[in-house]
Amino acid sequence: MNAPLVIAHRGDSERRPENTLLAFESAVAVGAELVELDVQLSSDDQVVVIHDDRVDRTTNGEGAISEMTLGEIRGLSAGYPSRFGSAYEGERVPTLGEALQLLRGRARVMIEIKRATPDGAGGPGIEARVVEEIRRHDASDGVALISFDPAALKRVLALAPEVTRGQLFQGGQPEAVVQGALDCGASVVIAEKGMLSDALRDRAREADLRLGGWLIDDPAELPALRRFELFGIGTNRPAALLSALAGGDA
């Protein structure tokens, strides 16, 4: 069996400010083949790469992203000052387009949509905007769109059936998890590590779904996960896990 792919969660997020171009560059530099990132919509409908729906935690500003323009967001430092002080104060919240351009041909990208935002009076929702960016950068074959929200994945299926979809789970019984993923057209299940079981592995295999796990930051956990036949493992510490896998410690 092949070793699982290491999915750099928000980039090399233990060592660099999460969801920044610097974190993505660092993830590629240590050898990650898959980079995961999160997206939100600004008030002027630009797709920005940030996890929270507010800028408060990871920037030097305050406010809801949906109430801020791209220019206002870009005026903030994304250097995660509460963790890294002023070391990375020059980092900015990237756009999805910038991230795709940086990673093109260097790593595959998992784009997490936090929640569905259907098209409305204000224009296309986040799913349509993300698909637009993926197609603009000719990246359909190098990305997967993932979400906890089945409604978001169903919208992606309708908008871009050619793009791989994966459903994230934090709980649930194996049969319900697998059926939920199938119902929204996902080909990938990414389960919180406490959910992993022989039953989930077997149900996923029977349904021809690839199974991944998150978050695994301690290389000592890897041997116990081998039996689940994971295609990928999400981690904040890609360098440490890649080193353990390369050394046969998993």
How many CA atoms within 13 Å lie on the side-chain side of 47?
25
Catalytic residue chosen out of the listed positions 4, 8, 9, 231: 9
Distance CA 199, CA 194 (A): 13
Closest CA to 116 of 159, 78, 177: 159
Classify residue 153 by its DSSP letter: H
Query: 228, 208, 207, 205: which is closest to 216 by C-alpha?
Result: 228
**51 among known catalytic residues:** yes
Residue in the block written with tokens 């963790």? 83
* Catalytic hit among 15, 51, 104, 106: 51
204 vs 17, 69, 144, 175, 228, CA distance in Å? Answer: 34, 41, 18, 9, 10
Catalytic site positions: 9, 51
